[in-house]
Amino acid sequence: MTEQPTPPQAGSLAFRFWTPPPGFSVTAGADEHAVPVPEVPLPVHREVLAAGSPGREDIGQGLYDYLRQFPDCRNNRVYAELLRDAFPHFLADLGAQAVMLDHKEVDPPYVKRKINALKILALLDPGNGPLQQQIGLAWFQLALTFSEMGDSRRHFQQAMIHLGRALEVNPDDPAGLNALARIDYFLGDFPAAARRWRRAMESADDPGMRAALEQNLARVADAEFPEAPLIDEFEAVGAALELCGAGRFVQALKILDRLEEQGRLAIEFPTAEFFYLLGLCREKTGDPGGAFAAYERALELAPDFQPAREGRERVLPGGANDDG
């Protein structure tokens, strides 16, 4: 049995790689039938190999934990197939997690966990169009999450890959065409967006969906395209978030004030988080009146948004920041 160092692309010091000897197998199922283990480097938790050779469950746990972090790794399909054949309980757990995360509002780290879980399942069924669409829509959801806007371009690109695979199975699916058209629109490929929205309208049976598609198409009808793509504004928000995280509120405020003045982001993608961040930057730079107005806008969009409520209270006369 040969232990190998973690390949550079693995990205984690928690694992080392162990290659089974020729003819190695593990038992599976109630009948304990033998499942051959391929002679490829298998990820195993570092502490397991430090104590000796991995046991059956050590191999399964290592594969499961590694794939959940790195579903695009080398030998990923081999690992997924070994999980399916020898450790099906891990795949059952994976499917249950994906279903659970699909039925509630979750933060970006959980959406990323869901994406990785679905990608592992897709390794075993790459031609499953609905599964590919789920992955694509999850990337799309992530791209439109305020805290992820700095990475929106990369998330949109991933969404396009998986939505494209779904359309290979069902080329006329209006939901998939609409999602891809929206991405085209955000990225600034307005002619492509128009083409996809027209195709989606041709195959949409639901009157409500047809009306929504027609409204979307009107944004880019007759070649009256916007001057700049929204992705530029998403990435500007990402830059402002980074500056705020570094305490550079003056620089962040310049970006956010410009975005508010242009108005397009607030019209096409109104979010309470944007106005909260604007209010926070104004508050930090000595403009309580402007901060109050921004916090009020945030609460108009989301009345229960607690950070904006707290911000508004701080800048009110007699609030937490008032020394009078």
Q: What is the CATH number of the domain that holds 306?
A: 1.25.40.10
More reliable by pLDDT, 2 or 207:
207
Does residue 323 have a pLDDT over 50?
Answer: no
Q: What is the pLDDT of residue 10?
A: 44
The answer to whether residue 81 sits within a structural domain is no
In a domain, 185, yes or no: yes
Q: Which pLDDT band holds residue 9 (cuts at 50, 70, 90)?
A: very low
Last-in-domain residue among 73, 103, 134: 73
Residue 50: the pLDDT is: 83
Q: Do residue 103 and residue 67 come from a single domain? A: no
What residues contact residue 160 under an 8 Å CB cut-off, 6+ apart? 136, 180, 183
User: Same domain, yes or no, for 278 and 196?
Assistant: no
Residue 152 within a domain: yes
Do 197 and 104 lie in one domain? The reply is yes
**How would you classify residue 286: left for phi > 0, otherwise alpha for psi between -120 and 50, otherwise beta?**
left
- Note whether residue 182 is domain-resident: yes
Residue 49 is predicted with a pLDDT of 86
Residue 165 domain-assigned (yes or no): yes
- The strand ranges marked E within 67-206 are none
In DSSP notation, 30-56 reads: TTTEEEE--SS-EEEEHHHHHHSS--H
Average pLDDT on 18-23 reads: 93
Residues 100 and 49 grouped into a single domain: no
Q: Does 112 lie in the same domain as 211?
A: yes
pLDDT band at 145 (very low <50, low <70, confident <90, very high): very high
What is residue 6's predicted lDDT score, i.e. its pLDDT? 41
The predicted structure's pLDDT at residue 17: 94
Which of 223, 256, 283 marks a domain boundary? Answer: 223
**One domain for residues 30 and 61:** yes
Q: What is the mean pLDDT of residues 290-312?
A: 96
Count of Cβ atoms closer than 10 Å to residue 10 Cβ: 19
Residue 30 vs residue 9, higher pLDDT? 30
Mean pLDDT: which of 20-34, 224-238, 287-301 is highest?
287-301
When divided into structural domains, the chain yields a total of: 3
Mean pLDDT confidence for 142-171: 96
Q: Is 83 helix (H, G, I), strand (E, B) or coil?
A: helix
- Cα distances (Å, whole numbers) of residue 208 to 141, 198, 201, 205, 220: 21, 15, 11, 9, 20
133-147, 172-186, 309-323: segment of lowest average pLDDT: 309-323
Verify that 254 and 294 share a domain, yes or no: yes
65 part of a folded domain? yes
69 and 97 inside one domain? no
The yes-or-no verdict on residue 95 having pLDDT over 80 is no
Helix (H) / strand (E) containing 241:
helix 230-245
Is residue 34 domain-shared with residue 145, that is, in the same domain? no
126 shares its domain with 219: yes
Same domain, yes or no, for 178 and 120?
A: yes
- 214 in any annotated domain: yes
Name the residue range of residue 165's domain. Answer: 93-223
Are residues 53 and 162 both part of a single domain?
Answer: no
Average per-residue pLDDT for the chain:
89
Percent of the chain surpassing pLDDT 90: 72
Portion of the chain with pLDDT greater than 70, in percent: 90
Select from 73, 101, 116 the last residue of a domain: 73
Q: What is the DSSP letter of 2?
A: E
Per-residue pLDDT band at 53 (split at 50, 70, 90) = confident
Q: Which range has the worst mean pLDDT, 34-38, 50-54, 126-130, 231-235?
A: 50-54
- Examine residue 241 and state whether it is found in any structural domain, yes or no: no
Confidence of residue 30 (pLDDT cuts 50, 70, 90): confident
Mean pLDDT of 36-43: 95
